[in-house]
Structure 1
Amino acid sequence: MTHIRIVTDSTADIPSEIREALGITMVPLKINFGEEQFLDAVTLKSEDFYAKLTASAHFPTTSTPSPGEFLAFYQELLSEPDTEVISIHLASVLSGTQRTAALAASMLEGDQAGRVHVVDSCSASYGIGALVVAAAEGAREGQSVDEILKRIEMIREHYAIYFLVDTLEFLQKGGRVGKASALLGSLLNIKPILSLDRTGEVMSVDKVRGHKKAIARILELLAADLGDKPIRTLHIAHANNVEGAEVLREAIVQRFAVAQVNYITLGPVIGAHAGPGTIAAFVGTV
């Protein structure tokens, strides 16, 4: 019987206890403050990252694992007999991580060649995490590679993601908006509502003045997405903003039928691009 192992990267923002319980292998991206380099979610955890972000004179930058690092993980997993790997990663339009993983998979030789299936999540943060957890649960239940890949595709097609960014500063520094737009947005208390398109590209859905109006707008957007479908899984994520996350959770559960709610902290790599104060809703219906 084939043993299927699931690999992802640290941008999936899956809590460590869930990764450990499901046997998910996580390959960390790197985050840099000046000359200091850390491994995302390994040598720099979320709580320490946001404290460092406030105190540091350096704007954080991020980088992908090397092909050799991926290759080492794959070789170790494939050393177990009758093993195949499904490796699910940050959207290729956002990062080179998925392409690096695919390159590493192509470097496998002998009986290990062809046993790694690299998947572009076309998503970020728990948009990846939801796919990875479903894949790991499917592997535990004895599903085949094809069955798991079909399940991933189904979830991806029935998933809604909305980010409410507290400040445009980090998007501006990351090249997502111009400096003038960021300054004007801050002065006018503009709260950008972001989502991801089908490829995983960040897109601006709306810009609303004030946090309360922004939450109300997210509810309208979700209502348009969901119709009369209930929410099977709701993951509320935040970048060092527990209070804002709770406000978003309460608004959604009061408006919609929600079967399951969990909280997620946006990790260092995602937090470096979205910025502190960001809150997000990851909504699955299947």
Structure 2
Amino acid sequence: MDSVAFVVDSTADFPMGWKPPLDLYKLPLRLIVDGKEYRDGIDIDSDRLCELMSQGHSVSTSLPSMEDIVRLFEEIKDKYEQIFVLTVSQKLSGTFNAVRMVIENFGLKNFFLLDSKAVSGKIFYILWRLMKDAMEGKRISQQSVAEYEKHCEMFFLLGSLDYLKKGGRIGKLSLLLGKILHVKPVLKIDREGEVTKAAVGMSQHDAIAKLIALVKSSVEKFSNYLLYGGYGSVHVKEMLEQILSNFPKCDGIARVGATVLAHTGPEVIGVLVGKSF
């Protein structure tokens, strides 16, 4: 029996080519397109979802199915001494509670549930730190997650606030400002795992400048740092590359997954800065 494995859900986005140092499993959230259900990363990918969204199809998301959770946990429960399940922020999804229900109902004593209080690239960063701890024999807890969450920042820009509004992830006032005043907020995930404004640009150009300034400030704060970019539709990849060119290095680029895209829209770009380790 191996000692440790990790499980994340499909809102976690990894840089292309990254190889986890320990066994890692992914639990798919579900996307509903015009009433038809798909499993993220299995039945649908980012390219296909971007295509469907651009055609105006109705898109929403749902938790991982109980069947998928039970199937995965049954498959791995006897293979490891400890299995850490790191989910998307409870403030953004009910995935944490669905997983907790399965762990409690099946009495899975070697499963340990953690709220990342994050999404996308921030989950990747926290996961990587936890895996390093596991390899060094350190104790892993929710406090570990809270500590590493402080060691990274993720900023992102959207083509439109409409998708966040439809998913109930942003208030009506922010949507109104975005539509009437044409402001472009730079968003982030705060320490509680909620979407908040980090800055406001008066135009796309201004918003990009403010995002770059925020990233530079984080780079200075962390001194030795890791920097990653992420994008949704291939049409915004060039914009991301232009933003990243303002920094001496980039450690990797991720493609934003379908579940996250359903809430941000296809034209999302993001930058993650983390303390090097």
Specify if TM > 0.5: yes
Alignment of 1:40-59 (within 5 A): 40-58=40-58
Distance 1:200 1:72 in 2: 28
- Is the contact made by 2:165 and 2:175 (CA closer than 8 Å) also made in structure 1? yes
The two structures have a TM-score, normalised by structure 1, of: 0.85
**Are 1:269 and 2:259 an aligned pair?**
yes
The two structures have a TM-score, normalised by structure 2, of: 0.87
Instruction: Report the Cα offset of residue 116 of structure 1.
Output: 0.5
Q: CA RMSD for the aligned pairs?
A: 2.6
Distance 2:7 2:138 in 1: 13
Equivalent AA in structure 1 for residue 88 of structure 2: L
Q: Tell me which residue corresponds to 2:163.
A: 170
Alignment of 1:1-286 (within 5 A): 3-14=3-14, 18=18, 22-58=22-58, 60-80=59-79, 83-109=81-107, 113-139=108-134, 142-144=135-137, 146-147=139-140, 152-175=145-168, 176-178=170-172, 182=175, 185-186=178-179, 188-240=181-233, 241-251=236-246, 253-254=247-248, 258=249, 260-286=250-276
- Is the contact made by 2:84 and 2:113 (CA closer than 8 Å) also made in structure 1? yes
Distance 1:21 1:36 in 2: 36
The 3 A distance-change label for structure 1 pair 152 and 143 is farther
Aligned length: 273
Aligned to 2:139, the other structure's residue is in SS state helix
**Of 9-18 and 260-269, the range deviating more from structure 2:** 9-18
**Of 62-71 and 236-245, the range deviating more from structure 2:** 62-71
**Of 219-228 and 203-212, the range deviating more from structure 2:** 219-228
Instruction: Report the Cα offset of residue 283 of structure 1.
Output: 0.8
Query: Which of 1 and 2 has higher RCO (CA within 8 Å, sep 6+)?
Result: 2
Point out the structure with the larger helix share: 1
- Unaligned stretches of 5+ in structure 1? none
Instruction: Report the Cα offset of residue 154 of structure 1.
Output: 3.4
Fraction of identical pairs, as percent: 23
Aligned to 1:65, the other structure's residue is in SS state coil
- Unaligned stretches of 5+ in structure 2? none
